[in-house]
Amino acid sequence: MAGPDRLVAVDIGGTHARFVIATFDDDGEITLDEPVTLKTEDHASFQTAWEDFGQMQGGDLPRAVSIAVAGPVGGEVIKFTNNPWIIRPALVKSKLNVDAFTIVNDFGAVGHAVARAPDSDFLHLTGPDEPLAAEGTISIMGPGTGLGVAHVWRDGIGGYRVQATEGGHVDFAPLDNIEDAILARLRKRHNRVSVERVVSGPAIVDIYATLARMENRATIEQDDRTIWQAGMAGEDSLAAAAVDRFCLSLGSVAGDIALAQGGFGGVVIAGGLGYRIRDTLAESGFAERFRAKGRFEKLMSTIPVKIITHPQPGLFGAAAAFAKEHFA
């Protein structure tokens, strides 16, 4: 293995930036120290957050960094989707005092995590209870603030390639009158309704409001976190119905993405939201909707669907992306 044996892995989202020291052993296996989470709103720039993390580590950081960013990674200036920071790749070495760096899309990093994580880091959801295929394509999707989508291709002998995509922005296709009503509500605000408008964390607000209107219920305006908590806890039957509807739609979208990408080697649900609702997903109509693809229903039933349970897939994946780019 050529390259540093330690680096800083960073996973930057809209609200938080997570930092960790990652160590590579002689076989290239990755070990993460305890992560540190900083609020982006508390720091004027990525550099000041980096310096803050460095002080927490005693002022001595490895001279290599891998950064997963929520947004496109090309060009001379990288702008974040939901925070005002920017990164100029040409200045990373001098600004951060490092010798080598990698910048990867945040869901691309999740793809690297899926490719490298052991079978024990996956929870079976539906389909055959078997490991993800060692050869072929694995589709990955993660509902969160938006809907991240990527895929991994494995060559069967340990090699792989990751492709981050914008699959969360394909058109939403309703399958029944309730989803017709959800679409109608969303179209009042958006000329074009993508799937992430329906299967992301904030989407539960519109699902809940649609169900309330169908039943002529008077409801108070609530944020998505409140609705998720009430629905998952069973404290509000309408919120619980909204959560169940979310699971149905997520199953449909996951099946569509697998068909579009050829993800017949497996499908992985990633992200904190997917993990938090894992038990509900298993008991919902997710699996039936995932398979319900007409003449391809038999094929869909052969695909193992998993939830990744690694506690920090973005950080682990960022370190794996660095290894993929820099190590011989």
Two tokens at 51?
Answer: 């310096």
User: Percent of the chain having pLDDT more than 70?
Assistant: 98
Q: Are residues 73 and 201 in the same domain?
A: no
pLDDT at 59: 86
What is the rounded average pLDDT of the residues 209-235? 92
pLDDT at 254: 98
**Residue 126 forms part of a structural domain:** no
Which pLDDT tens digit goes with each residue over 232-270?
A: 999 999 999 999 999 999 999 999 999 999 999 999 999
Q: Are residues 220 and 206 in the same domain?
A: yes
Within its chain, how far is the Cα of 128 from the centroid? 23
| CA separation for the pair 124, 44 (Å, rounded) | 41
Q: Are residues 41 and 100 in the same domain?
A: yes
**Residue 117 forms part of a structural domain:** no
DSSP character at residue 203? G
Q: Are residues 199 and 87 in the same domain?
A: no
Q: Are residues 318 and 301 in the same domain?
A: no
Q: Are residues 288 and 184 in the same domain?
A: yes
The beta-strand segments (E) located in the chain are 6-12, 16-24, 30-32, 36-39, 64-69, 78-79, 86-87, 100-105, 122-126, 135-143, 147-155, 160-165, 267-269, 305-308
DSSP character at residue 58? T
Flag whether pLDDT at 199 surpasses 80. yes
Q: Are residues 187 and 295 in the same domain?
A: yes
pLDDT at 225: 94
Q: Residue 3's pLDDT band (boundaries 50, 70, 90)? A: low
Q: Would you say the C-alpha torsion 57, 61, 67, 73 has a positive or negative sign?
A: positive
Q: Domain of 3: which CATH number? A: 3.30.420.40
For tokens 């892995």, the residue is: 9
**Residue 157 forms part of a structural domain:** no
Q: Are residues 87 and 206 in the same domain?
A: no
Q: What is the value of pTM for the model shown?
A: 0.92
Q: Would you say the C-alpha torsion 142, 147, 148, 150 has a positive or negative sign?
A: positive
Closest CA to 152 of 328, 315, 306: 306
Which pLDDT tens digit goes with each residue over 16-57?
A: 899 999 999 988 899 999 999 999 999 999 999 999 999 999
**Residue 132 forms part of a structural domain:** no
Q: Are residues 208 and 304 in the same domain?
A: yes
Burial code of 222-256, b = ≥16 C-beta within 10 A, e = fewer?
bebebbbebbeeeebebbbbbbbbbbbbbbbbbbb
pLDDT at 71: 78
Domain count, the chain: 2
Which pLDDT tens digit goes with each residue over 263-320?
A: 999 999 998 899 999 999 999 999 999 999 999 999 999 999 999 999 999 999 999 9
> In which domain, by residue range, is 322 found?
1-112+310-328
pLDDT at 328: 55
Flag whether pLDDT at 81 surpasses 80. no
**Are the C-beta atoms of 208 and 215 separated by less than 8 Å?**
no
Q: Domain of 188: which CATH number? A: 3.40.367.20
Q: Residue 2's pLDDT band (boundaries 50, 70, 90)? A: low
Q: Are residues 93 and 181 in the same domain?
A: no
